[in-house]
Structure 1
């Protein structure tokens, strides 16, 4: 729980209270205007509490995320308890799997000697981009 009392979290808690108070106050104000005969205020009277609910939802989600144990601790916990890895619940099922890209064999098209010069220059540019994967298009020397 100490993680939720850092200066950044205190600012988030204060922002939650301020935003929810302001949004509910604006909803109450629009409700009083709607009761006085302003028909468009009925929509705003419903909209402001929805905004307040969204702020609470985001805050709650961030609190749950902050209180979640780190991924390394979740993987080490079953091993430390003396259980086998096969008996432990699969923590990786919730995380997306990042795999290495598949390398395909490069097949080069035969160069057409009588082709368009612009097309040949563009193909040369694309070949240069392919040969230099970390380069940006602005780095092209041609």
Structure 2
């Protein structure tokens, strides 16, 4: 709970209270205008409380995220207790245990990371006419890059 009382979180709590109070006040103001005869204010009278509800929804999701709560699917993905398999084992715990094992020489059992190898693009030439057009276009792009304030019409070629 101490995580929710840092200066940044106090500012979020205050902003949520101020926004909800303001939006509900604006909704009440629109109700008073609508009862005075302004028909379009009925739409705004409904709209402002919806905005207040959205602020509360976003604030609540941020609080749950900061506290580490959330849906069971996200808890299982974070390493929490998932649904046990039919044989009584926890698939998430089994996956975590497999990821903790050292990889063998073939790389089997190696833990998956978020870092991937770069994609290598293979270029093939379509023909001489296309290559000449491509080279001219690349020269044009290089000139534009070398002259950032220039307009495309200033290109000398």
TM-score scaled by length of structure 1: 0.62
Residue of structure 1 in register with 2:44 after alignment: 44
Residue in 1 aligned with 2:136? Answer: 121
Q: 2:124 aligns with which of 104, 107, 113?
A: 107
Q: Distance in 2 between the 1:108 and 1:40 partners?
A: 63
Deviation of 1:65 after TM superposition, in Å, equals 1.5
Residue 110 of structure 2 corresponds to which residue in structure 1?
none
Q: Report what 1:132 is aligned to.
A: none
Q: TM-score, with normalisation over the residues of structure 2?
A: 0.57
The answer to whether residue 25 in structure 2 is matched with residue 8 in structure 1 is no
1:138 and 2:129 are equivalent in the alignment: no
Cα separation, partners in 2 of 1:25 and 1:50, compared to 1, 3 Å = same
2:35 is the counterpart of 1:35: yes
Q: 2:93 aligns with which of 73, 88, 92?
A: 88
Aligned residue in 1 for 2:105: none
**1: CA distance between counterparts of 2:41 and 2:24?**
14
Structure 2 gaps of 5+ residues are 70-74, 82-88, 97-113, 148-157
> Distance between the aligned counterparts of 1:60 and 1:7, measured in 2?
18
Q: Please tell me the root mean square deviation across aligned C-alpha atoms, in Å.
A: 3.8
Indicate the residue corresponding to 1:19 in structure 2.
19
Cα deviation code 1:74-103 (max 9, x no counterpart): 45x88xxxxx99552769xxxxx7754432
The separation in 2 between residues aligned to 1:87 and 1:25, in whole angstroms, is 48
Contact persistence 2:125–2:131 (CA under 8 A)? no
How many angstroms apart in 2 are the aligned matches of 1:48 and 1:2?
Answer: 32
Larger RCO, structures 1/2 (Cα 8 Å, 6+ apart): 1
Instruction: Tell me, in whole angstroms, the C-alpha distance in 2 between the residues paired with 1:62 and 1:48.
Output: 21
